[in-house]
């Protein structure tokens, strides 16, 4: 009776697993839906400014209202921090870029660490050791003479 119950439980578990896996599949005629046509993330319009804090508010501008060389661009530009017109921020970003390793240096460091890891695997393999020690030929001759004398 217990074997029958165990068999039924196993088959029920397999049926549930296959039903769950079948729910993950999409048909061969699946078409990805189009993204929604919207220009913002919220339903409400974006406010012009944030709440006042210490007498100051943060104001939002669209990319079309930018002043300077980036005016009219809707893409994020590489030197976005320059919009703050802060010499301290410019110096800090320039220092970070100058001290940041290049992609090639990062790849070389990664390859070096991978090689060190592979070299460490050598402890798991059998090891053979051999050694040579200098010996004086006179001492070997002396030991042979003593062996011959011991025979007489």
Asked, for residue 8, whether it belongs to a domain, the answer is: no
Provide the domain count of the chain: 1
Which pTM does this prediction carry? 0.31
**Six-digit token pair at 74?**
């809707």
Note whether residue 99 is domain-resident. yes
Q: Per-residue confidence of the chain (152 residues) as pLDDT tens digits?
A: 688 888 888 999 998 888 887 777 777 788 888 988 877 777 777 777 778 888 887 777 665 555 555 555 555 677 888 888 899 999 999 999 888 888 888 899 999 999 999 988 888 888 888 888 776 665 555 555 555 555 55
Residue at 100 is within a domain: yes
Distance between CA atoms of 136 and 116, rounded to whole angstroms?
A: 41
Structure token pair of residue 122: 């050598």
Confirm whether 27 is domain-assigned.
no
Residue 70 burial (CB < 10 Å; 0-12/13-18/19+)?
middle
3-state secondary structure at position 142: helix
93 in a domain, yes or no?
Answer: yes
Q: What residues contact residue 83 under an 8 Å CB cut-off, 6+ apart?
A: 66, 68, 70
pLDDT for the residue 151: 53
The whole domain housing 93 covers 82-117
Whole-angstrom Cα distance, residue 142 to residue 134? 16
Residue 41 lies in a domain: no
């Amino acid at each position: 009776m217990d074997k029958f119950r165990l068999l039924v439980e196993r088959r029920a578990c397999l049926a549930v697993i296959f039903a769950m896996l079948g729910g993950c599949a999409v048909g061969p005629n699946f078409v990805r839906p189009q993204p929604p046509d919207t220009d913002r993330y919220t339903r409400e319009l974006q406010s012009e400014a944030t709440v006042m804090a210490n007498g100051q508010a943060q104001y939002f501008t669209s990319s079309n209202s930018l002043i300077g060389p980036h005016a009219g661009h809707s893409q994020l530009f590489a030197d976005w921090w320059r919009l703050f017109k802060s010499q301290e921020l410019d110096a800090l970003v320039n220092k970070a870029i100058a001290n940041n390793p290049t992609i090639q240096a990062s790849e070389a460091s990664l390859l070096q660490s991978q090689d060190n890891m592979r070299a460490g695997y050598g402890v798991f393999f059998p090891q053979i050791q051999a050694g040579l020690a200098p010996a004086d030929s006179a001492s070997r001759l002396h030991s042979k003479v003593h062996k011959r004398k011991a025979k007489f």
